[in-house]
Amino acid sequence: MPLREAMLYKRENENINAKVRCNVCAHQCLIPEDGFGICRTRQNRTGKLYTLIYAEASSFNADPVEKKPLYHFYPGSYVFSLGTISCNFHCKHCQNWSISTARLGDIQTFTISPEEAVRRAKQAHCNGIAWTYNEPTIWFEYTYDCAKLAKAEGLYTVYVTNGYISEEALNEIAPFLDAVNVDVKAFSDSFYKRVCGARLEPVLETCKRVLDKQIHLELTYLIIPGYNDSREEIRQFADWVAGLSTAIPLHFSRFYPAHLMLDVPPTRIETLEMAHELAKDAGIEYVYLGNIPGHQYENTYCPGCGELLILRMDYRVKRRIRSPRCPACGRDINIIL
């Protein structure tokens, strides 16, 4: 695939070797001639910014939408999921480090045009397209083109993101996005700086903006022992989520050793259940525990009467709800069916 000029950047001056400011994510990289942004996928060539990964997919698959995870967005449906290489974070615990740390040429990629992505999604009988596995914001030009085409073809669209997308980029793609899962890494800026090479505040701002734009939002928080698992931090996070909306589905996920944190043990079930309790105490209506197959808190219950609405097991779904309303008590449920 030929080079594509990037969207959303500015030249610092009119010199042929001018630095350029990338405005796709909150890093706002100032990139010199022949230099790259933090994501290593956007390069300044003679004063123009180019994306090196347009339509270059490292991974693609038809996934249950629950795997994103999205539990309140067309439950039981399948979504054609694509990822590329590299990332604008450098998380020490990354589960997908083999693609998030790769540069173009390090691993095999497949050129899949937006038209081909839509065709493959339909061929696989998927209801939508998701950009996931690594950070979709660094793939912005491709995801933007894909999203526009997917919507025109009747498919839903999903971003699974670290939330570092800029306000300008979100404004551009928002009309073509149906759902977003933001992976909130922790509720402390020190964690973000030390573990991810980023900051917390832009992530929180993205969550607010997604909600304001009435895009379906769910949040994930991977609990890492000794790093972001204190009662106080989780309570503060839950209170913040409740302040946004008590109807946001919240997923606490179990950590397993990965990448540069192979010496950190898996999250104790008791810690996850503690987080669930704190979130419910904060008033959050839909709280889930992930990476624990068969746990009761994978299921969806009515926050009013406790009626079981959706039963889940290993991404298999049994719906007991036909409309966004509890069949037992009539309470409105924040869900898209």
Same domain, 240 and 281: yes
Q: Is the distance from CB of 200 to CB of 192 less than 8 angstroms?
A: yes
Question: Does residue 72 register a pLDDT over 90?
Answer: yes
pLDDT for res 2: 65
Same-domain pairing of 260 and 241: yes
Report pLDDT for 1: 61
Q: Do 43 and 87 belong together in one domain?
A: no
Sequence-separated (6 or more) residues with CB below 8 Å from residue 277: none
67 CB-contact burial (10 Å; exposed 0-12 / middle 13-18 / buried 19+)? middle
> Are 99 and 37 members of one domain?
no
Residue 283 burial by Cβ neighbours in a 10 Å radius (0-12, 13-18, 19+): middle
Q: pLDDT digit string (tens) for 14-61?
A: 777 889 999 999 999 999 999 999 999 999 999 999 999 999 999 999
Q: Is residue 203 part of a domain?
A: yes
CA–CA separation, 7 vs 49, rounded Å?
Answer: 8
The verdict on 26 and 84 lying in the same domain is: no
Q: Is 247 found in the same domain as 216?
A: yes
User: 143 with 160, same domain?
Assistant: yes
- Say if residue 22 is in the same domain as residue 62: no
CATH number for the domain that contains residue 183: 3.20.20.70
Specify if 318 maps to a domain.
no
Coil, helix or strand at residue 126: coil
Q: Which residues touch 18 (CB under 8 Å, ≥6 apart)?
A: 11, 12, 33, 47
Report the number of distinct structural domains present in the chain: 2
Portion of the chain with pLDDT greater than 90, in percent: 96
Nearest to 58 by CA among 95, 92, 6, 106: 106
Judged against a pLDDT cut of 90, whether residue 3 lies above it is answered with: no
Q: Of 201, 246, 197, which Cα lies nearest the Cα of 219?
A: 246
Residues 137 and 265 in one domain: yes
Distance CA 195, CA 49 (A): 28
Helix H or strand E encompassing 49 = strand 48-51
pLDDT, position 15: 79
Q: Are residues 191 and 258 in the same domain?
A: yes
How much is the pLDDT for 14?
A: 79
Q: Encode 138-174: b = buried (16+ Cβ within 10 Å), e = exposed.
A: bbbbbbbbbbebbbeeebbbbbbbbbbbbeebbebbb
Distances in Å between the alpha carbon of 310 and those of 146, 191, 233, 300?
31, 34, 30, 5
Q: Which residue has the tokens 């980023």?
A: 198
327: in domain? no
Q: In this structure, which amino acid lies at residue 286? A: Y
Which residue segment(s) compose the domain that 34 sits in? 4-51
Q: What percent of the chain has pLDDT over 70?
A: 99
Asked if the structure places residue 312 within a domain, the reply is: no
Cα 154 to Cα 156: distance, rounded to the nearest angstrom? 7
State the average pLDDT over residues 76-95.
98
Task: Say what the pLDDT of residue 131 is.
Answer: 99
What is the reported pTM? Answer: 0.97
Structure confidence at residue 13 (pLDDT)? 84
The stretch 3-13 carries a mean pLDDT of 94
pLDDT in tens, 255-275: 999 999 999 999 999 999 999
CB 191 within 8 A of CB 175: no
Nearest Cα neighbor of 8 from 140, 135, 98 is 140
Tokens 């192979």 correspond to: 262
Instruction: For residue 248, give the nearest of 212, 281, 278, 219 by alpha carbon.
Output: 219
* pLDDT of residue 161 exceeding 90: yes
Domain contains 23: yes
Residue 241 has what pLDDT?
99
* pLDDT tens column, 98-150: 999 999 899 999 999 999 999 999 999 999 999 999 999 999 999 999 999 99
Residue-level pLDDT at 176: 99
pLDDT at 165 over 80: yes
**CB count in 10 Å sphere of residue 118:** 22
Run of H or E residues at 231: helix 231-244
Are 105 and 167 in a shared domain? yes
What does the pLDDT look like over 223-237, one tens digit per residue? 999 999 999 999 999
Q: Is residue 169 part of a domain?
A: yes
Residues 11 and 81 in one domain: no
> 322 in a domain, yes or no?
no
pLDDT of 16 reads 72
Report which of 34, 216, 62, 29 is spatially closest to residue 137, judged by C-alpha positions.
29
Structural domain contains residue 25: yes
Residue 123 neighbours by CB under 8 Å, 6+ apart = none
